[in-house]
Structure 1
Amino acid sequence: MTRATLRLRLRELDIKIIDLTRIFGISRPTVYKMIENYERGELTEVRMECISLFNYITQNKYVTVNQVQIYVAENILTRRQTKREPRFDSINKEAFIKILLDCNHFDCLLGYFLSCYKLLEKDNLNSDEKKFLEPLKKLYHSLGHDIKK
């Protein structure tokens, strides 16, 4: 199923917007905005817990309303009650990881980034390793950041 079927799935499961406002603790207009952004694929504008639930609803063809309620209780409400910190320190990081999992646009870069990570962990780099890191340094510089190596 695609993201565009979220509204249809919510209707099929008889999950109302008011139910989502209670689950997420946000207003109705905000829920509508989250749904619209999710359906458009603008995941950086959607809260991670919303993405998680919306994916569960749209990607599990045979999910029932009872299973959704269990999912909410186990994955959203429990996290809130135990006040667990989010796994990642920014919404952008979480959204990017989600995008990496859902598409292959950045697959060609992953090997390079993994190699860069290993080199950045080293104390001393030889000239070949420094040359290998140059494209990453240029990218950082173009974004107004610096790499210390």
Structure 2
Amino acid sequence: MRTKLKSLELRLTELSTYLGFSRPTLYKFLDDYEKKEFKNIDFKVKVIFDYIMQKSTTSKIEVINKIIELNRQNESHGSVDNLIEKLRADSDTLQLINSAIEQVGVESVILSFQKSLKKIIKEKTNND
């Protein structure tokens, strides 16, 4: 891994900035990666390390673009994570969801949820 980083002229100091971890933490992740102790590594860092190691023609720019792409995905997941957190905090809604799952099954609940969301989006679009 270190050889690959060196060939890309990608320093851990740079990576630590792009990934949002301190340099010592990134060194620890690198050590764990080389020891194949993946459970100790942050998911995003593991994805980037795998990307660097699996792609033979990777350039420094490609690695940075991959990090940007991951950061964008994480931002969009933030809204979903926020929704899930709010659902977990609302015991009445959780109870309703559990009852629906028990009565009609998970797939039917998900399908109904999707239909409801599409309807909300369509109504919102028509009103704008």
Q: How high is the TM-score relative to the length of structure 1?
A: 0.50
Structure 1 portions without partners, runs of 5+: 1-5, 88-122, 124-149
Identity %: 24
How far does residue 26 in structure 1 lie from its aligned partner after superposition?
A: 1.4
| Corresponding residue of 2:73 | 79
Q: Which has the higher helix share?
A: 2
Contact 2:18/2:64, CA 8 A, preserved across alignment:
no
Question: What is the RMSD computed on CA atoms of the aligned residues?
Answer: 2.3
Q: Match for 1:52 among 41, 47, 62?
A: 47
Structure 1's consecutive aligned runs of 4 or more residues displaced over 4 angstroms after TM superposition are: none
Query: Within 5 A, what are the aligned runs for 1:87-98?
Result: none
How far does residue 64 in structure 1 lie from its aligned partner after superposition?
A: 1.2
Query: Within 5 A, what are the aligned runs for 1:52-71?
Result: 52-71=47-66
SS in 1 for 2:53: helix
Aligned residues: 82
| Corresponding residue of 1:24 | 19
**Max radius of gyration: which structure?**
2
SS in 1 for 2:67: helix
Distance 1:19 1:85, change over 3 A: farther
What is the alpha-carbon distance in structure 1 between the residues aligned to residue 49 and residue 80 of structure 2? 18
User: Per chain length, whose mean CA-contact separation is higher, i.e. which structure has more relative contact order (CA < 8 Å, sep 6+)?
Assistant: 1
How far does residue 50 in structure 1 lie from its aligned partner after superposition?
A: 0.7
Question: Cα deviation per residue 1:4-61 (whole Å; 9 max; x = unaligned)?
Answer: xx11111111111111111221111101000000010000100110110000000101
Structure 2 portions without partners, runs of 5+: 82-101, 103-128
How far does residue 85 in structure 1 lie from its aligned partner after superposition?
A: 7.3
| Corresponding residue of 1:43 | 38
| Corresponding residue of 1:91 | none
